[in-house]
């Protein structure tokens, strides 16, 4: 079995605000809100697609924890491809608009190799329970020391022969990951900005795994 060594860059604290999109919306519509409020474009818009497999055991232990265990296959608009496994551990404060998770990622060859990293933290008898295909538009904006990755996703969930498609917008402040800056107050301000923007957004704290299972779990 391959020896896997996790580095600091493989384990990060993710903080992001998530919204369901209820009407037609483009990435440019979102970027205009930020540009009109003293943000600058740090990285221009790009596209990528992603196929995901969500894993859980027969008791839905991971779902009930609020965690996520997924395998992802990425395709970028320059035809580059990559593949990894990720486990996200719930660490959110119910009084905050953002979701916080401890994110552990590794480029392993198999799910068994990935599970050896965590011992009993991940249920051992997991299997695929949900699939998702995603088309993503994304860009990064900056204001002072704060960097926010903005993503607009079209996600189609699949379970057995049933599918469900929805749109979601996510705003991840990566300032803490890059430079250790506390981004709590900034994320509160981002949520206030978006709430006043008039964009067709509804705050949610559900992961894509939770969303897909909510819609298709009975099939």
Output the pLDDT for position 123: 86
**Which ranges in 17-126 belong to alpha helices (H)?**
27-35, 61-65, 111-115
- Tokens 């890059």 map to which residue? 178
Q: How far apart are CA 186 and CA 219, in angstroms?
A: 40
Backbone angles phi, psi at 4, to 5 degrees: -120, 125
CA separation for the pair 23, 21 (Å, rounded): 6
Q: Give pLDDT, residue 4.
A: 37
Tens-digit pLDDT profile for the chain (219 aa)? Answer: 333 343 444 678 899 999 999 999 999 999 999 999 999 999 999 999 999 999 999 999 999 999 999 999 988 876 778 889 999 999 999 999 999 999 988 888 888 888 887 767 788 889 999 999 999 999 999 999 999 999 999 999 999 999 999 999 999 999 988 888 999 999 999 999 999 999 999 999 999 999 999 999 888
Domains present along the chain, CATH in parentheses: 8-216 (2.40.320.10)
CA 55/CA 203 separation, integer angstroms: 25
Distance of alpha carbon 142 from its chain centroid, rounded?
A: 19
Whether the Cβ atoms of residue 93 and residue 100 lie closer than 8 Å to each other: yes
Q: What is the pLDDT of residue 1?
A: 30
């Amino acid at each position: 079995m391959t020896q896997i060594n996790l580095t600091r860059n493989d384990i990060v604290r993710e903080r992001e605000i998530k919204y369901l999109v209820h009407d037609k919306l483009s990435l440019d519509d979102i970027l205009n809100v930020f540009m009109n409020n003293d943000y600058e474009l740090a990285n221009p818009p790009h596209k990528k697609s992603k196929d995901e497999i969500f894993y859980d055991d027969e008791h839905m232990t991971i779902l009930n924890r609020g965690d996520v265990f997924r395998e992802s296959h990425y395709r970028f608009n320059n035809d580059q491809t990559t593949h990894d496994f990720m486990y996200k551990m719930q660490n959110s404060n119910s009084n905050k608009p953002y979701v916080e998770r401890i994110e552990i990622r590794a480029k392993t060859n198999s799910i068994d190799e990935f599970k050896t990293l965590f011992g009993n933290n991940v249920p051992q008898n997991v299997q695929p329970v949900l699939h998702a295909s995603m088309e993503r538009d994304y860009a990064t904006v900056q204001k002072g020391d704060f960097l926010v990755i903005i993503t607009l996703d079209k996600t189609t969930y699949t379970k057995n022969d049933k599918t469900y498609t929805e749109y979601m917008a996510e705003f991840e402040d990566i300032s803490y990951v890059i430079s250790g800056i506390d981004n709590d107050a900034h994320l509160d301000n981002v949520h206030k900005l978006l709430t006043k923007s008039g964009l067709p957004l509804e705050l949610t704290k559900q992961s894509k795994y939770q969303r897909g299972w909510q819609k298709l779990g009975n099939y």
